């Protein structure tokens, strides 16, 4: 097995035979003490020129992207939005579940105005992204989602990018930064270090902690799969309300993103993702070596800013638990004002500023 910092090409990775690890952060806490004592974990209020986040109840200014583009990438035809000059430094922004590219509808114009080329793809199973073959296994394991994004970069001629994300998107950014650091100039990751493994996730948690993962157990049943297929919009709205309890989003904002869940592969990808995390569904053997490397919890060396909202109702690790997983220049920002799980959409100025700032690290 190669060391975690040895570079692989995307082609090599494909030829080798996304919830965060719910326990990993507990074991990481001790490693972060030294970092905290050195003062490298910073709050948003400590940052000079920090942009104040919008109120959690305020609706975003931009309601849609100008156009959705499509490109064949590996196993997929990926739909993506793009903003900014084509020759600008690249920024790739990745959404989570159950969200979509509109989490960045207010972030993208801010970054475009700063001269960045901003690319926001629909992940597999969302929006206009489609599998090229009906025969392809609808795989949602963490390494595969990351490989999709590396392949997208190849197709768009992007050698290196700043990568930002939350939820599944943060995990995907973490994986690219860990396994292919030559493709990641810097990273902004909401909720920090989210790389996990099915083996680590087998250890039970105390009941109160398990309660936050209730949907994983629902998805593990045939009833849950059927229920998500029938009620996916209502299900997603409930998750939004739980994960961002102080965000008074309106129906138009939710419906704009909920349309992306009508993707014909959405249910299969989501169910496989969560079952794979718990070791209840197999991945594909050709990705086993990548998953073994990720299960070792590799340290990330690229410049990184991690972020957290002060009202995140979704399960998430304490920042002190993962600070030691970042060996390059690093800062953490707590965004106040009732900001929940979908931080880029709830506090777009703060997220965009983190992208600009990490580019200067």
**Distance separating alpha carbons of residues 305 and 295, to the nearest angstrom:** 23
Name the DSSP letter for residue 354: H
2 pLDDT exceeds 50? no
Taking residues 311-339, what's their average pLDDT?
95
**Distance separating alpha carbons of residues 106 and 65, to the nearest angstrom:** 10
240 pLDDT exceeds 80? yes
What pLDDT shows up at residue 62?
A: 76
What pLDDT shows up at residue 54?
A: 53
pTM assigned to the model:
0.85
What pLDDT shows up at residue 52?
A: 52
* CA 69, chain centre distance (Å): 21
Q: Is the peptide bond before 98 cis (omega within 30 degrees of 0)?
A: yes
- In the chain, the percentage of residues whose pLDDT exceeds 90 is 81
pLDDT band at residue 61 using 50, 70 and 90 as cut-offs: confident
Q: Strand 76-83 relative to strand 69-73: parallel, antiparallel, unpaired?
A: antiparallel
Report angle CA 124, 241, 93 to the nearest 5 degrees. 35
17 pLDDT exceeds 50? no
For the stretch 143-196, pLDDT in tens is: 999 999 999 999 999 999 999 999 999 999 999 999 999 999 999 999 999 999
Taking residues 55-80, what's their average pLDDT?
84
19 pLDDT exceeds 80? no
């Amino acid at each position: 097995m190669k060391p975690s910092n040895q570079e692989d090409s995307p082609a090599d990775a494909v030829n080798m035979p996304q919830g965060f690890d719910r326990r990993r952060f507990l074991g990481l806490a001790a490693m972060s003490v030294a970092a905290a004592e050195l003062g490298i974990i910073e709050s948003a209020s400590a940052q000079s020129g920090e942009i104040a986040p919008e109120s959690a109840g305020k609706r975003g200014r931009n309601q849609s992207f100008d156009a959705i583009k499509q490109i064949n990438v590996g196993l997929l035809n990926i739909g993506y939005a793009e903003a900014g000059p084509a020759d600008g430094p690249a920024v790739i922004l990745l959404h989570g579940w159950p969200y979509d590219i509109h989490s960045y509808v207010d972030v993208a114009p801010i970054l475009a105005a700063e001269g960045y080329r901003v690319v926001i793809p629909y992940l597999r199973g969302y929006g206009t992204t489609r599998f090229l073959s009906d025969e392809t296994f609808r795989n949602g394991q963490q390494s595969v989602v990351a490989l999709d994004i590396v392949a997208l970069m190849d197709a768009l001629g992007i050698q290196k990018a700043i990568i930002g994300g939350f939820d599944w998107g943060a995990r995907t950014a973490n994986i690219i930064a860990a396994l292919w650091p030559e493709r990641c100039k810097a990273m902004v990751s909401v909720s920090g270090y989210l790389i996990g493994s099915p083996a680590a996730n087998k250890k039970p948690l105390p009941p109160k902690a398990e309660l936050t993962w209730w949907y994983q157990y629902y998805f593990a049943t045939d009833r849950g799969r059927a229920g998500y297929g029938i009620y996916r919009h209502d299900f997603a709205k409930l998750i939004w309300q739980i994960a961002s309890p102080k965000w008074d989003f309106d129906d138009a904002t939710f419906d704009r993103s909920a349309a992306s869940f009508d993707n014909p592969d959405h249910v299969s990808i989501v169910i496989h993702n969560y079952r794979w995390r718990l070791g209840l569904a197999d991945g594909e053997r050709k990705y086993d070596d990548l998953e073994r490397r990720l299960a070792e919890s590799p340290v990330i060396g690229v410049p990184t800013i991690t972020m957290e909202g002060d009202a995140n109702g979704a399960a998430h690790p304490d920042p002190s638990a993962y600070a030691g997983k970042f060996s390059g220049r690093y800062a953490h920002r707590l965004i106040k004002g009732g900001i929940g799980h979908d931080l880029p959409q709830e506090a777009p100025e703060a997220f965009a500023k983190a992208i600009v700032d990490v580019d200067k690290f």
